[in-house]
Amino acid sequence: QKEVEQNSGPLSVPEGAIASLNCTYSDRGSQSFFWYRQYSGKSPELIMSIYSNGDKEDGRFTAQLNKASQYVSLLIRDSQPSDSATYLCAVNLMDSSYKLIFGSGTRLLVRP
């Protein structure tokens, strides 16, 4: 059973702080990793994708990938109340199905 694990939270940070979200995955052959943001009652929205070891930055978001340790993280700098949402980590299955395996999500709460 291929799995993606996330702490369900809630992770509570003050406005302006750095929020750190973590994810581990079981399939060592996975090559593509994604972070989605889901607001309550809405569908997931792609935030970041990462394919190589190291860091990838996009605005206030930085994704970090360590394939040897099988973990992916998402850092949100200068957190804003509007960042309060559930963040889903997703990993691509390396077969022909193009399926994504999702973690259960981490709920982030940014306190004003």
Residues that bind another protein (CB under 8 A): 31-32, 34, 36, 41-46, 49, 51, 88, 90, 92, 97-100, 102-105
Name which of 5 and 70 has its Cβ closer to another protein: 5
What's the min distance (Å) between Cβ of 32 and another protein?
6
Q: What number of residues does the chain have?
A: 112
Handedness of CA 97, 25, 75, 42 (dihedral sign): positive
Name which of 37 and 64 has its Cβ closer to another protein: 37
Name which of 17 and 67 has its Cβ closer to another protein: 67
What's the min distance (Å) between Cβ of 100 and another protein?
6
Residue 20 identity: S
What's the min distance (Å) between Cβ of 88 and another protein?
7
- Yes or no: say if 79 and 62 are a contact pair by the CB < 8 Å rule: no
- Yes or no: say if 56 and 62 are a contact pair by the CB < 8 Å rule: yes
Return the structure tokens found at 44.
């997931």
